[in-house]
Structure 1
């Protein structure tokens, strides 16, 4: 079964775009991080609620909260896809940046992805 690109898109040939496996895993991480619980009708617990913390006052307490929120969500929802090694998260002036270090279970490839609010790559 082929993976589907997120966000859903068509290629120049009119077919559905399919990302590489690594690209699909990154898409899954973004979906978990930037989905708020309650957004998905059939899976209301899905997501991290991370975006609700973006405008909280900066400081060590919010940094620890961001990090634990990300770790818990990724382990819960993607524990069968990635082995989480390290997470750092920070919110600065409404911009959220999360750095995730992990090993893909299927390929045993070690990766580090930087994800910013809005889903833009590093």
Structure 2
């Protein structure tokens, strides 16, 4: 068991924990929503996705966001997951990212969807 992200209390008032598969999803979320330069000892960590929210939309922006996300995930989490596909869409005021991946430890395939900011998938 590992500490859940974002940090929260469980029903007993203790630090919430999570299983390994949910922890990997949490790690993907951290990579997506951390801006490079935000972490002091890891200045290259993150994808830069949040900066894309303020860029003009269109197929070029979606392709650039897809490239940023996929390369960041492969750089940061290659030992834990194999990225199968990344899909980036602009829906209303939100960027919605869907990541298909295989957990290397168990060889199970998963799909996770994330939204930033403004709306839930």
TM-score norm. by structure 1 comes to 0.91
Q: Distance in 1 between matches of 2:104 and 2:17?
A: 19
Partner secondary structure for residue 73 of structure 2: helix
Q: Is residue 80–residue 105 contact of structure 1 (8 Å, CA) maintained in 2? A: yes
How far residue 61 of structure 1 moved from its aligned partner, in angstroms, is 0.7
Residue 53 (structure 2) aligns with:
54
| Bigger mean CA deviation after superposition, 63-72 or 53-62 | 53-62
Across the aligned residues of Structure 1 and Structure 2, the Cα RMSD in angstroms comes to 1.7
Instruction: Name the structure 2 match of 1:26.
Output: 25
- SS for the counterpart of 2:17 is coil
SS of aligned partner of 1:113: strand
What are the residue-to-residue correspondences of 1:43-122 with 2, within 5 Å? 43-118=42-117, 122=121
Q: Distance in 1 between matches of 2:90 and 2:40?
A: 28
- Following superposition, the deviation at residue 13 of structure 1 comes to 1.3
Structure with higher strand content? 2
Q: Which runs of 5+ in 1 are unaligned?
A: none
Deviation sequence 1:65-115 (CA, Å, 0-9, x none): 011001100000000110000001123443110000000011111001111
SS of the counterpart of 1:28? helix
> What is the number of equivalent residue pairs in this alignment?
121
SS in structure 2 of the partner of residue 80 of structure 1: coil
Q: Structure 1: which 4+ aligned runs deviate by more than 6 Å?
A: none
